[in-house]
Amino acid sequence: MMNCADYRRAVLAGPRDADPLLRLHRDGCRECLEYTDRLLLFESRLERAMRVSVAAAGDARVVPLRVPAAARASAAPGGLKARRGWLAMAASVLILVAVAGGLWLAEPHSSLAADVVAHMAGEPQAWARTDIPATAPELAQALGGAHLRLDPKAGMVSYARSCQFRAHRVPHLVVQTEMGPVTVMVLAHESVSKPERFDEQGYHGVILPIPGRGSLAVLARGQSPSPDMLKQIASRVQDALVWTG
Amino acid sequence: MNDQVGGNLKRNRFHALCQSLRPDLLRFAFWLSRDLALAEDVVQEAMLRAWKAQDSLLDEGAAKPWFLTIIRREYARSFERKRLVTVDIDELVAREEPTLATTQADDLAELRAALFKLPDEYREPLVLQVLMGYSTAEIAAELNLSNAAVLTRLFRGRNHLRALCGEDTRMDPE
């Protein structure tokens, strides 16, 4: 059995490491579980800190738009700097189009979505496609703190955990759908005014407002299910939430 | 005619690839150099080199590490081209303030300034892991280090960073 110092050394090197030995220690050690939750919060901030805004600076020099011309010109006399002026002018129309797209793509659409995605990336083991449901005690433990239970019409839940998210414990569930695993987070402390779609770092999803109860984040990895299908799944899960307090 | 169509397709494909990767590549170069202007130059030159050498990219799925390697080499070349003077970290932070600033309510700016202070040997593997999603083995291969050395650097880097940010490190191992 791994000791606490070894565990913490390992998670400091890789807080999102899904090593079963680390999980085994974490599950049996409350202090290390809390330590990991704090570290993951820091990690989420670190990831966002590294995502500096580069859209404004970069769009003035959209490289791909200039690459073909630059490559053709490489045989001509004159250095790169001399080519930059007319290349920039020639690309200016395309840059106008790229600015809008670049700004949209380069930054997370909301910090809430960014945090949800960062949290997901930290629990890769949750995404397994499986037909083994979470046990009733696991589900009760994940949902109980939020005064919730889930009607079976939501679908088969394969993963249920109460996670630290933005200084609150929130239920984190994975529902197995016909289109693959879909993750659900019930964010009682986070409000959104209208449904917010996001598509970041290989995850896409939607954050739905739950009037008087915060919001619900539903997301999937890769291209499937489609955004419309995901919205349907989100509505189904939302309908299946039963508030007990 | 067919050559021209094929050339356009190839160019458009490369264009799309660069477009999709560019934000993260620029961020990587920024954290490598701590200088946005230099990062832009490095990425620009790297893209040109990549365009010329695109036939060596056999699998588009491996484009990101391929570009990263080119960027690291291009960054190293920038040292050969000019003599880089030693710069005070506080001056560096002040110079890059527009990039480090954040409109969000949290303290990301403080964390970004702390990242600037982190020694290169810790910052680079950390950026590869956190920003670029590299595994320990991939970082080891890129930096030509052993897995154990990478883990040590990641551990020390995070440890150092957390201390710089005033995080509670009492439970951190020695």
Task: List pLDDT tens digits, range A152-166.
Answer: 888 888 888 888 777
* Residue A3 touches chain B, beta carbons under 8 Å: no
Residue with tokens 């499986």: A130
* pLDDT range class, residue A45, cuts 50, 70, 90: confident
User: Where residue B123 falls among pLDDT bands split at 50, 70, 90?
Assistant: very high
Please tell me the distance in Å from A74's CA to the nearest CA on chain B: 10
- Kindly determine whether residue B15 and residue A80, on different chains, have CB atoms separated by under 8 Å: no
Alpha-carbon distance A117 to A37, whole Å? 16
Q: Does B26 touch chain A (CB under 8 A)?
A: yes
- Compute, in degrees rounded to 10, the torsion defined by CA atoms A91, A93, A98, A101: -170
Test A64 with B172 for CB contact under 8 angstroms: no
Please compute the mean of the pLDDT values over residues B142-161 and round it to a whole number: 95
Q: What pLDDT, on the 0 to 100 scale, is given for residue B85?
A: 57
Each residue of A84-102: pLDDT tens digit?
Answer: 554 555 555 454 334 434 4
Supply the ipTM of this predicted assembly: 0.85
- Contact call for A13 and B158, based on CB within 8 A: yes
Residue A12 has its nearest CB partner, among B44, B106, B158, at B158
Element holding A145 (H helix, E strand): none
Predicted TM-score (pTM) of this structure: 0.56
pLDDT reading at A225 higher than 80? no
Mean pLDDT value across chain A: 74
Give the CATH architecture of domain A110-243.
Answer: 3-Layer(aba) Sandwich (3.40)
A103 or A234, higher pLDDT = A234
pLDDT surpassing 90 at residue B84: no
Q: Do B11 and A67 touch (CB under 8 A)?
A: yes
Ordered domains of chain B (ranges, CATH)? 1-84 (1.10.1740)
Question: From the CB of residue A91, how many other CB atoms can be counted at a distance below 10 Å?
Answer: 19
Q: Domain residues of chain A, as ranges?
A: 55-106, 110-243
A9/B106 CB distance under 8 A? no
Q: What is the pLDDT of residue B81?
A: 65
B43-67 residue pLDDT tens: 988 988 888 887 788 777 788 889 9
* Residue A144 binned pLDDT confidence (cut-offs 50, 70, 90): confident
pLDDT at B86: 60
Chain A contact probe: residue of B11, B13, B26, B100 with most A CBs at under 10 A: B26
Q: Classify residue B128 by burial, with Cβ atoms within 10 Å: 0-12, 13-18, 19+.
A: buried
- With bands split at pLDDT 50, 70 and 90, how would you rate the model's confidence at A55? low
Q: Using the beta-carbon criterion (under 8 Å), do A49 and B115 form an inter-chain contact?
A: yes
Q: Please give the Cα distance from A223 to B174 (Å, whole number).
A: 43
Confidence class for position B104, pLDDT limits 50, 70, 90: low
Chain B residues whose CB is inside 8 A of the A62 CB are 19, 22
Would you call B95 an interface residue with chain A, using a CB distance cutoff of 8 Å? no
